[in-house]
A and B are shown apart, each in its own frame.
Chain A
Amino acid sequence: MRKIECDVAVIGAGPAGLAAAARARERGAGRVLLMDRDRELGGILNQCIHNGFGLQLLSREMSGPEYAEYFINEAKKADVETMLNTMVLSIGADRRIHAINQYEGLMEIQPKAIVLAMGARERNRGGVVIPGARPAGVFTAGAAQRYINMEGYMPGRRVVVLGSGDIGLIMARRMTWEGAKVEAVLEILPFPSGLTRNIVQCLEDQGIPLYLGHTVIKIHGNERVEGVTVAKVGSDFRPIAGTEWDIQCDTLLLSVGLIPENELTLDAGGQLDPVTNGPVVDDEMCTSIPGVFACGNVVHIHDLVDNVTREAWAAGEGAARFVAGQQPSGHVIPTAAGEGIRYVVPQKVHAENLATRDVRLSMRVKAPAEWVRVEAVLGGEVVFSKAERVVRPAEMVSLTIPKGRVAPELIERVVSAVDGGADDDAAKLVVRIAKRESSSEGGIRA
């Protein structure tokens, strides 16, 4: 068995892995090895041939492959070593990795630090339990996207999309442009799951109807899909009797959520957050296992790749610091999701970093809201906030507490509360949504 030693091993060469690997090298790590199970670098970006990537981070509108290429070039410039068609089988004690590919066979890789960047998989039919027959023609939206954009085949001609996640919206438009008829997009929630720009560009501009508060209750056809029965749902998300109707179609695309791909994380003994389904991380993106970092969709599901890259930079930098023996020492302060917030990442923040660096918090709100203020509350005191015109579950909210913003005395007080075993807000960094009095306060316009 071939043995390989390196400073940092990055698992997954999508946007997260590419940026983390390059950044680790740039911040001084020696040999950085970037592995991916697919035949190309770039991950799912390669099949995302639509535009809209890079607007925030690079101030350019790029397609997925262009965005990938940009960061592939960055990785190359940084002398990152890559290994494709390579599957990581396990992560054992001392961060020892077993991996395999068809060129080198089974390998044992011993890195000083690991960055987990495995991304996510699509929730499938079983995950949402759709009754009915089990014919061909039921695809996750991403699988259909791969067939069309990478393999050159059409998965169907008459389509119903379940779920208004971004991939489903993009695919509704893509299939329309490929000559298919998209009969409907159904969303069980009372509000869309995808970005507003995608609702407008992919559905409204194409004349595709969106049914909010609806779902598929039965699939018809024993060999190939012949149709679906759909129904309105109540507030309990159960179908309302009498509201059902049939739609003829040969294809059902599912865009019903992404699940962080954490089998390796669990295998390695990493602790997961039950809300994000991703590893618990600190503000340097270090998981509960020292020297094992994580970034991108494996940590929590992102809507914009730009945010994945930002997070990956933090992970790459953290890994390089770990290799150099410069990881922050001392105290950590747990974060918590307060009023109106479903989750916040990272789950803990180094007190030292709060005093000396910008600390970025990413979160999702529970429900759409207008005219709000997003607040970071440390030990009961609002230390930073920003106004938002509107917040939606589909769009990640972030808050960066600037360096030097938090008084050292406050940090010290919270640290001693943590050390004293307190579990209330006095010992936490809480993020929450507060209602604003009126629109007159201004804020960032969406």
Chain B
Amino acid sequence: MTAYEHNADVVVIGAGVVGNAIARELARYDVSVVLLEREADVAWGTTKANTALVHAGYDAEPGTNKARFNVTGNAMYPRICAELGVQFQNTGSLVVATSPDQVDHLRELLERGRANGVPGLEIIGRERIVELEPNISPEAIAALWAPTAGITGPWELAIAYAENAVENGVKLMLSSPVTAIDVEGGRAVRVHTPGASIAARFVVNAAGLFADEVARMVGQTDFEIVPRKGEYYLLDKRAGHLARRPLFPVPTAHSKGIVVTPTVDGNLLVGPNSYIVDSKADLDTTGCGLDEVLAGAGRLVPGIPVRDNITNFAGLRATASPGNDFVIGPAPGVPNFINAAGIQSPGLTAAPAIALEIVRLLGEAGLALAPKADFNPIRPRPARFAEMTDDERAEAAACDPRWGHIVCRCESVTEGEIVEALHRSVPCTTVDGVKFRTRAGSGRCQGGFCGPRVVAIISRELGIPADEVTKKGGASRILVGPSKQGNWQCEYGECGECSGPGASGARGRGEEAGAHA
């Protein structure tokens, strides 16, 4: 196969929230950017499976990259999310102490936070905690209140960054794992994927869990990415009220502990535990892990209603070893290869700030950063039926009947939204892709109702047979082939047995239903 040849000023490897933020910030300038992603969609690594928190910044040791980019990233969230049409709620957060020695630990966190420049931190007593969080454990005696913390939609943000980047000229290549990087004269000069080879002046390594493998392609061996798993429960919106903001236990050396938090969509999210696993492909939840998560959450909010569980998932944190800190900067001896690696928590919070730093480092390394006159920082929030007023709903359905056809009843997602999501600037070709963009299938029935309908819409809109539609690319086909009798695609009016659509606007009224039975 002849590889597709490209040239780029900058190749960014990895389309998670960090890579996408970097690509978008680079799109401000007159530079050509190629963004490479191994998966079939953006945001499918660590970005899609984490606690979705915008941390205040009191956890990290002062002077570390984590501390610096957490605090600056946090401050950027309101503006970035407004520009990109992404949900962000500045809820504040609580670290909850249940014993006197834990209260001592809160004081340490307070001091550390102040040293890191976190505004507004204070330690509050039980009365105030109960006021803020009526469902808090009776054991809670004090808490660290961090008013700048919040919650966001991680994949929403990553998709928005990617779309804004592509709309401003970045070339995104999905299903393109990097297989090799050519180094000549101490510079990375060409990046290879199975289908393409891209001549590059600069390379940014934002490859998440695989950043060590990518770094090794240019000879950098001084860090390793250790996958650290975290498992979660996601509960029904019915349980969303149990926490009004992220609630943390007092942290340990490796983890901020098992959190109970609302999500921006109104669910309750519980997790994660934290342990090292052997494989970067190991996203299995485990019986004992999930038990640990529930037990941990119960210490903050007693009586988490497991019967309201919607789904469980696990994510892998990309922990850099040695050091545990974010690895930000050029590879030794390869000055045009810049790492944004080891971005574990608080990576989501830090991403906007890391992106600015990477752009600065690229400039320092010699990339000319001439602002592009026509850069548009605004990516409007895609319309969502669920977020509309009655008047807006009436108007949307009147303009386009597909906005009157609800496909996912749990989350009130219309056919109009799904069609729109399938034709935006970043390609969306999978059932999970539709789910992450529209929430169809994210609700309490988990696609039991809308699943077949979403497959049919993807098939129709993208012109691929229904049995080739995948859940998440690769071999994840939903269907394995036609049934014995085969599939017939009568959408009314073609089989001769039923009255056709569109003949009158009032199909459904007194229709000869049952003709298909």
Contacts and interface: CB of A to CB of B under 8 A. Distances in A.
Interface of A: 1, 37, 39-42, 45-46, 65-66, 68-69, 72, 76, 81-87, 89, 98, 100-106, 121-122, 124-127, 129, 131-137, 139-140, 142-143, 146-148, 150-157, 178-179, 217-218, 222-224, 239, 250
Contacts of A40: 513-514, 516-517
B452 A147 contact: yes
A45 B415 CA distance: 24
A27 B197 CA distance: 75
B504 to A, nearest CB: 9
A57 to B, nearest CB: 18
A155 B398 CA distance: 36
Given A121-B448, A125-B446, A223-B476, A106 B310 contact: no
B404 A89 contact: no
B68 interface: no
B484 interface: yes
Contacts, number: 184
B287 A125 contact: no
Q: How large is the interface on B (under 10, 10 to 19, 20 to 34, 35 or more residues)?
A: 35 or more
B275 to A, nearest CB: 14
B312 A126 contact: yes
Interface stretch (B25-33, B155-163, B210-218, B278-286): B278-286
B290 A131 contact: yes
Contact of B406 (A100, A103, A127): A100
A126 B482 contact: no
Nearest to A127: B309
A121 B449 contact: yes
A129 B287 CA distance: 9
Contacts of B371: none
Contacts of B404: 100-106
Contact of A82 (B284, B474, B483, B508): B508
Contacts of B307: 127
B487 A84 contact: no
30 contacts: A1-B394, A40-B516, A66-B517, A81-B509, A81-B510, A82-B508, A82-B511, A83-B509, A84-B507, A87-B409, A87-B412, A101-B405, A102-B404, A102-B415, A106-B393, A124-B446, A125-B446, A126-B446, A129-B312, A131-B289, A132-B285, A136-B470, A137-B478, A142-B448, A152-B483, A153-B466, A153-B483, A155-B480, A223-B472, A224-B476
Most buried by A among B289, B412, B480: B480
Interface string B451-494: 11000100000000011001111111111111111111000100
B442 to A, nearest CB: 11
B312 A106 contact: no
B283 A106 contact: no
Contacts of B415: 102
A362 B55 CA distance: 53
A274 B55 CA distance: 38
A222 B281 contact: yes
A100 B290 CA distance: 40
A146 B313 CA distance: 26
Secondary structure class of chain B's binding surface, majority of residues? loop
Contact of B480 (A42, A154, A218): A154
Contact of B397 (A66, A106, A125, A137): A106
Nearest to B398: A105
Contacts of B482: 152-154
Nearest to A225: B476
Contacts of A83: 508-509
B394 A105 contact: yes
Nearest to A63: B517
A37 B410 CA distance: 12
Given A106-B393, A131-B285, A154 B483 contact: yes
Nearest to A105: B397
Nearest to B480: A154
A339 to B, nearest CB: 26
Given A72-B513, A178-B484, A89 B412 contact: yes
Interface string B279-306: 0010111110110000000000000001
Contacts of B126: none
Interface in B429-451: 444-449, 451
Nearest to A45: B517
Most buried by B among A100, A132, A137: A100
A186 to B, nearest CB: 16
B397 A134 contact: no
A178 B479 CA distance: 14
Contact of B409 (A37, A102, A122, A131): A37
B253 interface: no
CB-based closest 10 A-B pairs: A152-B487, A65-B517, A84-B508, A102-B401, A105-B397, A136-B471, A41-B513, A106-B394, A87-B406, A126-B311
Contact of B516 (A46, A102, A148): A46
A357 B398 CA distance: 49
A101 B406 CA distance: 8
A311 to B, nearest CB: 22
Contact of A143 (B287, B313, B452, B513): B452
A154 B479 contact: yes
Contact of A153 (B285, B311, B401, B487): B487
A121 B445 contact: yes
A121 B449 CA distance: 8
Interface in B380-412: 390, 393-394, 397-398, 401-402, 404-406, 409, 412
B121 interface: no
Contacts of B312: 126, 129, 131
A157 B517 CA distance: 25
